Structure 1
Amino acid sequence: MTESFPVGRPSGCPFDPAREYAAYRQTDGLTKVSTPAGVDAYVASRYDEVRTLLRDNRLSSRFAPSDHVVPNADLSQEAEPGSLLQADGAEHKRLRRLLATEFAVKRMEALRPRVAAMIDERLDAMLAAGSPVDLVQEFALPIPSLVICELLGVPYADRDEFQARGAQLVRVDGWTEESQRASDELNEYIVGLVLAKQARPEDDILSRLITRGQELGTPLTVEELVSVGVTLLIAGHETTANMIALSTLALLRHPEQLADLRSDPSKVPAAVEELLRYLSVVHYGLFRYATDKVPVGLSTIDAGEYLIAALSSANRDESVFPDPDRLDLERDATAHVAFGFGPHQCVGQQLARLELQEVLTRLYARMPTLRLAVPFEQIDYRVNTLVYGVKVLPVTWDAPI
């Protein structure tokens, strides 16, 4: 009997992935499951399997990463032109090549003072307004939104144009008329932005993609630029915003480790890596399609079959991370796969690290008495979305004397 793919979280610790993964890791070979999309798929749950399969070019990314948890998803559709998440082979390399420079470590480090200033500005506003506040709306969401808007050349005043629509598009409980409307409206907005930058390039990612493509003799079409723009806009704030809020909650639940971190800011980079591993906010894994036979240990994925690379399970693999269900900010977690692995590894991961590092350094230094304003048990979580997080995070702090 084929098991059902685990959609949801355990009722105990909200930071843990579905408990079925631990059982999958103890079995021989891959586990076959039925998915909400209406197809069966193999689940790669062990760390080594996930890394090996995500770099195998016989496994295509032609479907959206979360299609396996979308009820009756339409798996007959072709990838959209310019889709960084769905392109394979030479097409994917072309897109990555154009984008790689934008998110290189050196360029991201040059951005650090600006990100720090944005964070301090938000903290100044929060301290001036006083507590309690919803940390999601007042801090976790604005920070990455401000950053990605500036990088892409999107007016921050237009953030409502993409935040609400982006939130609709990362839902995994089925494609609706509202989803289609959100997609159409967001695409229409980015089309206008792209056309404006083609006419008058500025100092931003979209403008540089336009000019770099022309210089390399591989110019991106408007359709491709729109696809890249939508992907970066949504991914650039959804994942990091949820990591900021969920990391804050996790650290508030581990006050001794938080106190140690506050006393020694040099530990922040390592703490970010452990939080990425421990929380694994892309909690339903990545969906792949076999274009050829792929042997995996005792299992074989035949051409035409599907795979789910369970990132959250790989990051809790006991053979790689001892006592994996424990948050340990002293752990060396740099080998985690929270950003995926292989050719499709998150292109913006250095930006996400930078934002998280500056948040952990500044938030708790400026608000040393930060704490939940409601009981922990009352926190509500975002389960039916591609990216896991909290819906609302009420916090408070003591006013300075």
Structure 2
Amino acid sequence: MRIWDGSTPWLVTGYEEVRTLFSDPRVSVDDRRPGFPHWNEGMLATVHKRPRSVFTSDAEEHTRFRRMLSRPFTFRRVEALRPAIQKITDEHIDTMLAGAQPADLVTALALPVPSLVISTLLGVPYEDAEMFQHHATIGLARYATAEDTAKGAAGLHKYLARLVEAKMQNPAEDAVSDLAERVNAGEISVREAAQLGTGLLIAGHETTANMIGLGVLALLENPEQLAILRDSDDPAIIANAVEELLRYLSIIQNGQRRIAIDDIAIGGEVIRAGEGIIIDLAPANWDPKVFPEPERLYLHRSAAPNVAFGYGRHQCVGQQLARAELQIVYHTLFRRIPTLRLAVPIDEIPFKHDRLAYGVYELPVTW
């Protein structure tokens, strides 16, 4: 396929092929390699200004960075956050119910809940949330320019670097303090720690926020499926429902960008060394060979695991946190507001066709 810069990377859409390439050491995430299929001009222009991170490193370097990020996302820490996620969710639903109708579910619930949760986990003061949301989203526009991306990245990086330095002196039980501890031990620099923190901040709120908004819309459009989630208190049924929503929606719809570092024979083709690869999660999650009737939202579906969070060594480090948030938000929202409905026709809802993560800009609802 041809992308914005005229280059022609391979587009990979089959479920088995996607999982195979995610696991292949001949496939690199190093975005400094010539031929890497960058998302937009902004990402290409800033590639040599960004320090290496878990998102752009391979092999042992990637393992080293990932180990640094694993502590806040352990099962124990995520499970310990559930009461806080529940409280944040209930408080925002309380506020929405006390306010005017119709309400915008994105600003009332979908955006603030994951922002507060990731702030809590990272140790970022929530009063700074509006600032980091602004900087985080500048570079995520599909056609972000070099200037846009540099501006957003510089603002966030400066903020995180100051926060890391503060946590080096006064650590707490949070992810930025974990990174500050690594800096004090001489394992990474403040710059590298800030880059890792920036990545977590962006990934930890933008994606989950989009998934909440889009998932609520999908459920409202499928009321018989919504009832399954609303009427069950079985954690297994709620968890399975979230997995099906993740499969059905796949909000990262611009593909995971990679480059071949050796020739790879796959699917009857040969991807040559130096050729770009776009691993597309959405069609893989709708592969009819793996998911019968993929276009149908079916919350009782028992099928192969979805690849919404990727697969293999580079799969999303925060996926368990995202799952916990989605399980709590969807179930709580529909349990507390069983009459929730769209306030406008679906064709009037503004979708994020111009962003790297799919979602809705607004979701007007009433009850």
Q: Deviations over 1:76-116 (max 9, x none)?
A: 94483342211111111001112122211222111111111
Deviation at 1:151, TM superposition (A): 0.8
The alignment status of 1:121 with 2:91, answered yes or no, reads yes
Structure 2 equivalent of residue 338 of structure 1: 308
Aligned to 1:243: 211
Q: CA deviation at 1:244?
A: 0.2
Distance 2:207 2:341 in 1: 23
Query: Of 373, 388, 394, which aligns to 2:358?
Result: 388
Aligned to 2:148, the other structure's residue is in SS state helix
Matched, 1:327 2:297: yes
Counterpart for residue 46 of structure 1: 14
| Matching residue of 2:117 | 147
Counterpart among 74, 81, 88 of residue 58 in structure 2 = 88
Query: Which AA in structure 1 matches 2:15?
Result: Y
After superposition, the C-alpha distances for 1:12-55 in whole angstroms (9 at most, x for unaligned) are xxxxxxxxxxxxxxxxxxxxx11113311111110000000011
Partner of 2:44: helix, strand, or coil?
Answer: coil
Corresponding residue for 1:180? 150
How big is the shift at 1:63? Answer: 2.2
Q: Count the aligned residue pairs.
A: 362
Pairs within 5 Å for 1:200-219: 200-212=170-182, 219=187
Number of the residue aligned with 2:260: 290
- Correspondence for 2:226: 258
Letter paired with 2:203: A
Corresponding residue number in structure 1 for 2:334: 364
1:58 equivalent to 2:52? Answer: no
The residue that corresponds to 1:347 in the other structure is 317
Q: Which runs of 5+ in 1 are unaligned?
A: 1-32
Aligned AA for 1:125? T
Match of 2:188 among 220, 233, 242: 220
**Is the aligned partner of 1:378 residue 2:348?**
yes
Deviation of 1:208 (Å) = 1.7
Separation (CA, whole Å) in 1 of partners of 2:150 and 2:47: 15
What is the SS of the residue equivalent to 2:299?
Answer: coil
Aligned residue for 2:354, secondary structure, equals coil
Q: Can you list the C-alpha shifts for 1:200-225, whole angstroms capped at 9, x where unaligned?
A: 212211112222565xx662211111
SS at match of 2:277: strand
**8 A contact 2:230–2:335 mirrored in 1:** yes
Query: Do the aligned partners of residues 105 and 73 (structure 1) sit closer, same or farther apart at CA in structure 2, a change above 3 Å counting?
Result: closer
> Secondary structure at the residue paired with 2:11?
strand
SS at match of 2:9: strand
Q: Is the 8 A contact 1:316 1:325 kept in 2?
A: yes
Distance 1:242 1:223, change over 3 A: same
Q: Tell whether the 8 Å contact from 1:37 to 1:72 is kept in structure 2 after alignment.
A: no
Aligned counterparts of 1:96 and 1:315: Cα–Cα separation in 2: 25
Q: Contact (CA 8 Å) 2:164, 2:179: kept in 1 or not?
A: no
Change (3 A) 1:161 1:152: same
Q: Is the 8 A contact 1:115 1:147 kept in 2?
A: yes
1:176-210 CA-partner distances (Å, limit 9, x unpaired): 42332222111111111111111221221111222
Structure 1 residue identity aligned to 2:193: L
Note if contact 2:42-2:146 (Cα within 8 Å) is conserved in structure 1.
no
Q: What is the distance in 2 between the residues matched to 1:76 and 1:303? A: 24
Are the counterparts in 2 of residues 274 and 334 from structure 1 also a CA contact under 8 Å? no
For 1:53 and 1:142, the matched residues in 2 are separated by 35
In 1, are the aligned partners of 2:42 and 2:149 still within 8 Å (CA)?
no
Q: RMSD of aligned C-alpha atoms?
A: 1.9
In 2 relative to 1, CA 200–76 (structure 1 residues): closer, same or farther, beyond 3 Å? closer
Do 2:247 and 2:307's aligned partners in 1 also have CA atoms closer than 8 Å?
Answer: yes
- Give the SS at the match of 1:145: helix
Residue in 1 that maps onto 2:5: 37
TM-score by length of 2: 0.94
Shift of 1:273: 0.1
Residue 74 of structure 1: CA displacement? 2.8
Structure-1 separation of matches of 2:181 and 2:73:
17
Q: Gaps (5+ residues) in structure 2? A: none
TM-score, scaled to structure 1: 0.86
Please give the secondary structure, in 1, of the residue aligned with 2:106: helix
